[in-house]
Structure 1
Amino acid sequence: MSQLGTLEDLPLDYRQGLTARNLVPLWPALRAALPYGIPARKTKPILWRYEEIRPQLLEAGRLTPIEKAERRVLVLANPGLGLDNMQATPSIYIGMQLILPGEIAPNHRHSPSAVRFVVEGEGGFTIVEGEKCPMEPGDLILTPSGLWHEHGHSGSGPVIWMDALDLPLVYGLEASYCTEGAPQTVRNEADGSQTRYRRSGLVPYAAVTRPRANYPLVRFPWREVKSALADLATVTPRGEAVRLAYVNPETGMECMPILGFSAVHLRPGESLRLPRHSASSVINVVDGSGTARIDGVELAFDQFDTMAVPTHAEVEIANASSTRPAHLFVVDDAPMQRKLGFYEIFG
């Protein structure tokens, strides 16, 4: 392996001439841009404790009315990437959002795609293109790029959910923007998760005769996901992951273009090594407690905690309970990597 030249090998007047012409020599920085083995990574394996986030979020609710916040969110920023950059991983933005009884987070749409994963509370709702989706703990609700959406709260007590967006990618492309809109007119029917897409393998007949919808299902109720995981656990050999992917029910493909979503069931006392892959990810603890070892960094997690996983990381997860399962919700950027042609699984 040859030793590459450095900037200092070049005469000063030559370097100054390049700078004056907005030119940069590649070879001194080639290994930084294209390292051998695995990528150079700034993302740190880190855990955000919900017991520390929640009081700060409730205090934000006291300090800042919704009219002055529009979206009342605390962003989970990875210190390895710089707190001002608002990145959990290089491509994933994560925030914890609070809405209080009677509040409305106004209608808008934006170029980044977003999802809401409900953490706690009852009575919240999201309206997506006129479809009113109840927000129950553990529910996943999609608000894809360009679709109108607004949030409200008709119950009592705080409602908190996790936002996951591909904002870092879209912002980095200088393509991130938002459009305000008037309040939506709600359709007089239940959302599609309760009417059109109730059973896997069954879709409305028209779905097979018309062009496939990009986002036919925007709400995935946790009660159904949890039940499906429990059933899958009964037929999954010990040592294999009990894991379900959230997909478009009409195509079987990922439900969003950039970010992917999955749910993991950890059986009582189970320790699991997740396949090492090229995608970065964020893990939210739906319920249970245990430990995660991410690239050798050990993190003890409890319910509602959130963890960042760098690309190419080694990940082992253990359920601390010998009597109860634990459940995890995972966000990753594998769909983007697959579309770009460089997604890899290393086993």
Structure 2
Amino acid sequence: MQDQSRFDTLGRLEDLPLDYREELARQNLVPLWPSLRAVLPAGKPQPNTRPIHWPYETLRPLLMQAGELTPIEKAERRVLVLANPGHGLEKMQASAAMYLGMQLLLPGEWAPAHRHTPNAVRMIVEGEGAYTTVDGEKCPMSRGDLILTPTGLWHEHGHDGDGPVVWLDVLDLPLVYYMEASYHIDGEPQTVKPGRGDRAYARAGVVPTQVFQRSNKAYPMLRYPWVEARAALEALAADQPELEAVQVSYVNPETGTDAENILGFYALMLRPGQTLDLPVRSPAMVFHLIEGGIDVGISDNSFALAEADTCCAPGYTPVRLRNRSTNSPAFVFIADETPLHRKLGVFENRG
């Protein structure tokens, strides 16, 4: 067995002569060994992502104030970013690969069309009457709905109703930015085309028959209505009363693969009074409470989530969810980095 102590006594940068360090710097060279344990820690990663909770009750007044202070014409997208202090607030990251933002649209406003390289989804938090048009498909927004705006597709937001509409943005922006591949292109208002994916693919296992020609849409379903997802969870819970985790995944209805390429999206139902210990896995996770009240334990941290609250858990960390109600189920939207980890071959499930 190798002596572990020799791996823990690597030389420090300060051990090297100053003139040698200066010559390295002049040639844009860096010695690895002083930083080796920082980039390759022993046993498991040491994530910068911290357990963090963003209560909607305290966030909402600041978002409404933003609506008073900044007209949509000056904001384009009026968003408060949910930043994880472990990454530094200036980096606008919730985790290594996830960006979160609460976006506000007021009656009569229009957020102009653009497209960009990061993938995005919208989880609707409150309000009625707004819509997102994606690639010519007009997607109405209702609380709990999930709407995709995948990489490269034109999208814009409008509001024909009364009262504010708020949604949670989830993007893979940190990853795309880190790859130096992040940019956007402005566009003109879209012409709405007939047909809606949430109607064509409204039933699991039943998809439109392409009699004459296969669809060329990479993302045939852009809106996942909450009323359908909730019904699926309730039916699953009733059909399998012993099932420990009542959870559904948002997937591409034609391929069965993840709804988008980089991040995964799910809806979870906690039965009345249920406590659920999630497997310790490598991806970071985001929890957004759609209905009910739950307690979230992340390692040594505990957060009490009310409706519309959001929290984040780093990877390689135990997570416990508990439904505080003994009479009603709770419903949680989850976003995580699982598709990315699987594609990179670094996904781990440590049980």
1:43 is displaced (CA, Å) by: 1.1
Unaligned runs of 5+ in 2: none
Does residue 192 of the first structure (1) align with residue 197 of the second (2)? Answer: yes
Query: Quick one: which of 35, 58, 61 aligns to 1:29?
Result: 35
Which residue in 1 is equivalent to 2:307? 303
Which residue in 1 is equivalent to 2:166? 160
Query: Quick one: which of 52, 70, 83 aligns to 1:64?
Result: 70
> Given the two structures, how large is their TM-score scaled by the length of structure 2?
0.95
Does residue 286 of the first structure (1) align with residue 290 of the second (2)? Answer: yes
Which residue in 1 is equivalent to 2:184? 178
Which residue in 1 is equivalent to 2:129? 123
- Deviations along 1:268-293, one digit per CA (max 9) or x if unpaired, are 00000011110011110001112111
1:155 is displaced (CA, Å) by: 0.6
Which residue in 2 is equivalent to 1:85? 91
Report the residue type matching 1:272 in the other structure: L
Does residue 258 of the first structure (1) align with residue 266 of the second (2)? Answer: no
> Given the two structures, how large is their TM-score scaled by the length of structure 1?
0.96
Which residue in 2 is equivalent to 1:343? 347
1:207 is displaced (CA, Å) by: 8.5
Determine the C-alpha separation between the residues in 2 that align with 1:337 and 1:213: 25
Larger mean CA deviation between 155-164 and 15-24 belongs to: 15-24
Contact 2:295 2:323 in 1 (8 A): yes
Which residue in 2 is equivalent to 1:74? 80
Determine the C-alpha separation between the residues in 1 that align with 2:342 and 2:218: 18
Relative to structure 1, is the Cα distance of residues 236 and 273 closer, same or farther in structure 2, using a 3 angstrom cutoff? farther
Does residue 276 of the first structure (1) align with residue 244 of the second (2)? Answer: no
Does residue 139 of the first structure (1) align with residue 145 of the second (2)? Answer: yes
Contact 1:125 1:134 in 2 (8 A): yes
Which residue in 2 is equivalent to 1:15? 21
Contact 2:275 2:322 in 1 (8 A): yes
Larger mean CA deviation between 12-21 and 330-339 belongs to: 12-21
Equivalences for 1:36-51 in 2 at 5 Å?
36-51=42-57
Determine the C-alpha separation between the residues in 2 that align with 1:110 and 1:207: 33
Please report the RMSD computed on the Cα atoms of aligned residues, expressed in angstroms: 1.4
Determine the C-alpha separation between the residues in 2 that align with 1:106 and 1:211: 28
Query: Quick one: which of 306, 317, 320 aligns to 1:316?
Result: 320
1:210 is displaced (CA, Å) by: 3.1
Which residue in 2 is equivalent to 1:206? 210
Determine the C-alpha separation between the residues in 2 that align with 1:345 and 1:228: 26
Report the residue type matching 2:171 in the other structure: L
For the residue of structure 1 that corresponds to 2:210, the secondary structure is helix
Relative to structure 1, is the Cα distance of residues 239 and 316 closer, same or farther in structure 2, using a 3 angstrom cutoff? farther
For the residue of structure 1 that corresponds to 2:63, the secondary structure is helix
Determine the C-alpha separation between the residues in 2 that align with 1:167 and 1:29: 27
Contact 1:212 1:250 in 2 (8 A): no
1:208 is displaced (CA, Å) by: 11
Q: Number of aligned residue pairs: give it.
A: 345
For the residue of structure 2 that corresponds to 1:198, the secondary structure is coil
Which residue in 1 is equivalent to 2:252? 248
Does residue 226 of the first structure (1) align with residue 230 of the second (2)? Answer: yes
For the residue of structure 2 that corresponds to 1:8, the secondary structure is helix
Larger mean CA deviation between 141-150 and 33-42 belongs to: 33-42
Relative to structure 1, is the Cα distance of residues 203 and 197 closer, same or farther in structure 2, using a 3 angstrom cutoff? same
Unaligned runs of 5+ in 1: none
Determine the C-alpha separation between the residues in 1 that align with 2:217 and 2:156: 21
Contact 1:213 1:250 in 2 (8 A): no
For the residue of structure 2 that corresponds to 1:13, the secondary structure is helix
- Deviations along 1:132-191, one digit per CA (max 9) or x if unpaired, are 0010100000000100000001110000000000011111111111101010001144x2
Determine the C-alpha separation between the residues in 1 that align with 2:31 and 2:42: 20
Report the residue type matching 1:170 in the other structure: V
Which residue in 2 is equivalent to 1:217? 221
Larger mean CA deviation between 180-189 and 329-338 belongs to: 180-189
Contact 2:237 2:243 in 1 (8 A): no
Larger mean CA deviation between 209-218 and 256-265 belongs to: 209-218
